[in-house]
Chains A and B, each alone.
Chain A
Amino acid sequence: MIAAMNFRSMLRHSFAVAALLVLAASAAAQCRSFAKNKCVPELAPFKFNETFNAAQLAPGEEAEVNLTFFSGQEYRVLVCAHPILGNVNWKLVDAHNKTVFESLADDPKSHFDLKAASTTQMKVVVWVPEKGSSDMVHVGCVGILLGFKEN
């Protein structure tokens, strides 16, 4: 009797885990597919620098990407978020911790184009605004991509 209950419990457990795994795998694949279909085309005419920085974020969460910009090169920094998250906030911060560019959710901009006068490191910080009180936590893909221009 106890063995049967344990088996049933294990089976239920397995299905729950299987469902979660399928959902996680599906969400992950959707993030890649979202980045490929929605984000990468927005880099044009810049060439994607081929580094896939994307994360599943929820409201209140933050992501940061550290980037190197080489002198004389032109770049496009692009942030694209899945519509389920709504608009996200993001900023580009230089090595002196000074904000070079900022896009807030109420006046969103998907990208920022720049030319590096000298080689420098900067970081992109993205944070998803909280949306009031709700038991539902929406998790969505946020891609932070860098494009460069071939000289």
Chain B
Amino acid sequence: MIVKRMNRWPVLLALMPLFAACGGGAEQETLTVDDQSTATQEERMRKTKKIFYNIPSPMETAGLLKDAGADYDGKILNDVKNVDRYTSASKQALNLGVYGADLSYASVFNHTQESMFYTSCSKKLADKLGVSHAFNDSTIEVMQKNQNDREALLDVISETYWSVDAYLKENDRENISALMVTGGWVEGLYIATQVAAVKATPELRQRIAEQKLSLNHLSGLLNSYTTPDPALDAARADVEKLTAVFADVELPMGDGGTTEENGVTVVGGTAPAATLTDAQLAAIRETVTAIRNNYIN
């Protein structure tokens, strides 16, 4: 919600009971409010169109990788020991996304023990970011209880991820949400390119090439924030680097027609599958690895 800045003292006074009620911990430095209802309405009229960018979640990406014939390789994931190294909010947010992607990858490929480790790392970072409200001890308990039930485990992980995302967005910490989404997406692409280094099936090349579309959305998401934020600026620069290496990747588009198949509407029309040359794949792998290593170190 866009709100105007005004006298800070009443705002601070007003925030105190909210912090107390929520158990504290969450810094909401950018939360300001305008008590002029007419001004709020005018603001509302000016911003009548809200635009969102939907970036594939770590779980969706991991599922696409599995469908594309990718194998599981736990060695490529971020070391759980790194979790205590992240002291700034921006690093915590990026690595909450990274560990979230690692968690999804391990869970989708049914590596329960690793899933529990990555859950623990994610929980630590969520606590540090003040998102315990959306990711609490009962979540861990439910996951432990369901660790042998893959579907139930995936459901809990999925619900936790979106609850954290929603909590951040609703508490005017959209920049943290955007960094988390960026970290998760970058880790997903990193995993895909690492797996493809060993077994670059046409399906895997296709899914990596198609990330060009998600990259456009990620760029749109990051550029939708106008408040100065060095961490978002750095993320935008990373996205620009990736945009440059994806520039010559061609994505054939369907004719846009719709047909019917077993009662389901089929959209997009036919188009040849996207692909990547070895050189393109290597360039994407090299760039995303450098960006990801900068996030985790």
Q: How many residues of B contact A (CB 8 A)?
A: 69
Residue numbers in A under 8 Å from B264 (CB-CB): 74, 113-115
Select which of B60, B253, B268, B270 is within 8 A of A49 by beta carbon.
B60
Task: Report if B51 contacts A (CB, 8 A).
Answer: yes
Task: Report if A148 contacts B (CB, 8 A).
Answer: yes
Select which of B10, B51, B57, B154 is within 8 A of A10 by beta carbon.
B10
For the complex, what is the distance from the CA of A61 to the CA of B271, rounded to whole Å? 36
Interface contact A115-B59, CB-CB below 8 Å: no
Number of residue pairs across A and B with beta carbons under 8 Å?
192
Which residues of chain A (96-141) have a CB below 8 Å from chain B?
A: 96, 98, 100-101, 112-122, 137
Interface contact A13-B267, CB-CB below 8 Å: no
* A→B interface (CB under 8 Å): 10, 13-14, 16-18, 20-22, 24-25, 28-29, 31-32, 35-36, 40, 47-58, 60-74, 94-96, 98, 100-101, 112-122, 137, 144, 146, 148, 150-151
Task: Report if B18 contacts A (CB, 8 A).
Answer: yes
Task: Report if B72 contacts A (CB, 8 A).
Answer: no
Identity of the chain B residue whose Cβ is nearest the Cβ of A148 in the assembled complex: B60
Residue numbers in B under 8 Å from A22 (CB-CB): 17-18
For the complex, what is the distance from the CA of A35 to the CA of B170, rounded to whole Å? 12
Select which of B49, B52, B171, B252 is within 8 A of A66 by beta carbon.
B52
Identity of the chain B residue whose Cβ is nearest the Cβ of A56 in the assembled complex: B1
Interface contact B33-A68, CB-CB below 8 Å: no
Interface contact B254-A120, CB-CB below 8 Å: yes
Identity of the chain A residue whose Cβ is nearest the Cβ of B45 in the assembled complex: A60
Known: A118-B254, A118-B269. 15 other contacts (CB 8 A): A18-B10, A21-B15, A47-B59, A49-B60, A52-B162, A53-B52, A61-B49, A63-B51, A66-B53, A68-B213, A117-B267, A117-B270, A118-B252, A119-B213, A120-B254
